[in-house]
Structure 1
């Protein structure tokens, strides 16, 4: 498993985490303090705002789970990868891809999200 594969698995685990304390701890480990996250639906800055956004996603889409698509491309400190959102064992309801950039400490500092199937 590459360094980026591990990062993406941790990223999706955080997006699936329903326990607020565990999610906040995961965000603190994986994301830079001033992380920027932007997709067609939301744009937030900072760990607290990202934590709140993920909580809102859980409320809006209860029972749905994020899973990895495939690592499309990675170089230097950035990766672009696909992800799926849906009920386990069923075809995904949403497919998207994110571009994530890491800082010098290896934490994610920027995520740009795109939706391919909604």
Structure 2
């Protein structure tokens, strides 16, 4: 009886081990590279142009081409949803930091999520503040932005 139990246990371990090897090999054969959607960099560039624009009326006119109707920005100050609240948040940030502009790095893309690191500051010190935005994208529009500050 003891011998049968030991053999069964050994067989279970061997089978479990071969399953793990099989799963590992299968996973390794999956292609993980994914190209960014065409026009993503231009979409991100237009996003930062909106955030650098000091004219609230002009900014709002550009929203429909860049953001979905339910676009939101989540940052440390809270959650702003929709054109009116996002536009107000931009005005508030610009009022707190007159003359500052965003200088983004090129967009990075990973399976439906876009990431951009950026600097924010006056023209003579454009990286005074550093941060990162993580975007979701759908149907050629930004649907959300989550803002992280590098302290």
Do structure 1's residue 5 and structure 2's residue 50 form an aligned pair?
no
Aligned residues: 114
Q: Which has the larger radius of gyration?
A: 2
**C-alpha offsets along residues 15-71 of structure 1, whole Å, 9 cap, x if unaligned?**
001112110011222111111210112311111110111011111111111111243
Q: Which has the higher contact order (CA 8 A, sep 6+)?
A: 1
Q: Distance in 2 between matches of 1:50 and 1:56?
A: 10
**C-alpha offsets along residues 72-95 of structure 1, whole Å, 9 cap, x if unaligned?**
x30343201101101113252211
Do structure 1's residue 50 and structure 2's residue 86 form an aligned pair?
yes
The runs of 4+ residues in structure 1 deviating greater than 4 Å are: none
8 Å CA contact 2:43, 2:141 repeated in 1: no
Structural RMSD (CA): 1.5
SS in 1 for 2:98: coil
Do structure 1's residue 80 and structure 2's residue 115 form an aligned pair?
yes
8 Å CA contact 1:15, 1:54 repeated in 2: yes
**Equivalent position of 2:141 in the other structure:** 107
1:7-86 to 2 correspondences below 5 Å: 7-71=43-107, 73-86=108-121
More strand as a share of residues: 1
